[in-house]
Amino acid sequence: MDRLQRGNGHAAELREYASWGDCAMVVASLVLLLLGLQRQVRADERGAFEPQLLLAAGTGVIAAADTGATTDATVECPPEVCAPACCDPIYHVLDPWGVDPLWSGRAEALLLWRGSPQGLPLFENVGGGSALNANNALNANNFGSGMAAGPRFTLFRHTGDDGAIEFNYLRVENFSATENLPLTDGGYVQSSRGIYCCPSTTQLDTVSGGMSSALQSFELNRRFPTNNGWQWLTGFRWVQWQENILIETSAVDGLLRNSFDTGTFNDLYGWQFGADSILYGLGTPFRIEGLGKAGVYYNQAAQHSANTLSDPINSSTLAVRTSVAQAAFVGEVGLTAVYDIYDWLSFRAGYAAFWLGGIAQATNQLDSQKLCDGQPIAGTTDTGGSVWVQGITLGLEARF
């Protein structure tokens, strides 16, 4: 499985292997693909019968269509076949016109924002600060990102029983944020908790930081047939969340420089349950759909941290890499307005939100590593983080 490789230069070191979860994903894909190709008898098998049938007004029988003959003989509608000529169309999720397509597909653009990281004081003003932000010059929760965009592709293989097999993939990269502290007379010092457990009283002239994140997901779901506007679903899902933070400081008129570089990776594998629904407008060209799904996941989390100190003569780097297996949670909700341009094409616009809990976040690692010159190197992977990602979805859906 393609790995996101954004962030620090050590990213490739953390993902040089194919995990058991990747193998499980491939096997599940093949199994569900084969299941999706087995279709129940419905529209595609009854096609030869439908053009010849017309509903006789006020009767429970079917009259022969006009084929140029004068006969008006009638035949009973076969009980195993319910063609549109025999009964009303069945409107439901993924089939708003009741025509039972073989395939449906969606192509959407995701415009998302991620929530700010958990709070952690990083740097303080020397001699105090403003009344509103006393001593706290830079906090980890200042790194809230701007908008990031990416695609989501969904393919449905209809199984002929008002259910479907769903293949869903999304990728959104470059949630980015930067912070630069302005020059002051007193300068800055590291917070009392310290970064990489290396408290320092060295007065810093400049402090700058940048943070980036990325989200990737793939899922395989079985959608079960139900009546009206509801459809239950369950299936396998893989989610990857990646973060990187780089903080750079300078002191003594730029002669002493320090950089703190931390990257985290979270590969989550789990089984989810959920429901898709038409909340308003069932059987009409305009409708509102709602979606909710959640599951418990196995998270293979890892982090890599590096502390680099340089002066005009020397440069040294201390680094540590750790990983841990952890239970995690992933949930997703969505609300989408849909307008049918044609009976086979629809425009979609809505809101989507994702919540990941039990993950390793880059800022949470800053006070969990020991990368101090002259001291033993040690580190841990903190998986107590959570992130909320939300935004707008725009796209098209086709049925064929």
Q: How confident is the model at residue 245 (pLDDT cuts 50, 70, 90)?
A: very high
Asked, for residue 56, whether it belongs to a domain, the answer is: no
Average confidence (pLDDT) over 13-41? 53
- Please name every residue paired with 380 in a beta bridge, in sequence order, or none if there are none: none
pLDDT for res 39:
58
Mean pLDDT within 354-379: 94
Backbone phi, psi, residue 102, to 5°: -75, -40
The whole-angstrom separation of Cα 173 and Cα 215 is 6
Is the CA virtual torsion 143, 144, 145, 146 positive or negative? negative
248: in domain: yes
DSSP state of 141: G
Domain boundaries, position 159: 11-47+83-399
Q: What is the Cα–Cα distance from 261 to 109, expressed in whole angstroms?
A: 31
Q: Is residue 2 part of a domain?
A: no
The values of phi and psi at residue 158, to 5°, are -75, 135
In a domain, 1, yes or no: no
Structure tokens at 91: 């409107």
- Among the listed residues 284, 399, 288, 292, the one whose alpha carbon sits nearest the alpha carbon of residue 350: 288
Whether 53 has a pLDDT exceeding 70, the answer reads no
Given a contact cutoff of 8 angstroms between Cβ atoms, the answer to whether 250 and 260 are in contact is no
Q: What CATH number corresponds to the domain at position 19?
A: 2.40.128
Q: What percent of the chain has pLDDT over 70?
A: 76
The total number of structural domains in the chain stands at 1
For residue 74, which amino acid is it?
T
Q: Is residue 276 within 8 Å of 291, Cβ to Cβ?
A: yes
Query: What is the pTM for the complete model shown?
Result: 0.79
* pLDDT recorded at residue 40: 53
pLDDT tier, 8 (very low <50, low <70, confident <90, very high otherwise): very low
Residue 105: per-residue pLDDT: 97
- Does residue 73 form part of some domain? no
Residue labelled with tokens 């990728």: 171
The Cα diameter of the chain in Å comes to 104
Q: Which helix (H) or strand (E) holds 302?
A: strand 286-310
Question: Radius of gyration (Cα) for the chain, nearest Å?
Answer: 29
Residue 86 has a pLDDT of 53
Q: Which residue has the higher pLDDT, 116 or 79?
A: 116
Number of neighbouring beta carbons within 10 Å of residue 267: 23
For residue range 93-102, list pLDDT tens digits in order: 999 888 889 9
Residue 64 lies in a domain: no
Residue 361, pLDDT > 60, answer yes
- pLDDT one-digit tens code per residue, 195-244: 998 888 888 999 999 999 999 999 999 999 887 789 999 999 999 999 99
Phi-psi domain of 46 (left: phi exceeds 0; alpha: psi -120 through 50; beta: other): alpha
Question: Does the pLDDT value for residue 36 go beyond 70?
Answer: no
End-to-end CA distance of the chain: 29
Domain membership flag for residue 5 = no
Q: Round to whole Å and give the CA distance between 123 and 193.
A: 10
The answer to whether residues 353 and 388 touch, using CB atoms and an 8 Å cutoff, is: yes
Nearest CA-CA partner of 32 in 163, 167, 155? 167
Does any domain span residue 74? no
The candidate with the shortest Cα–Cα distance to 219, out of 326, 330, 111, is: 330
Q: Residue 314 above 70 pLDDT?
A: yes
Residues whose CB falls within 8 Å of the CB of residue 351, separated by 6 or more in sequence, listed in order: 334, 335, 336, 390, 391, 392, 393
At 278 the three-state DSSP class reads strand
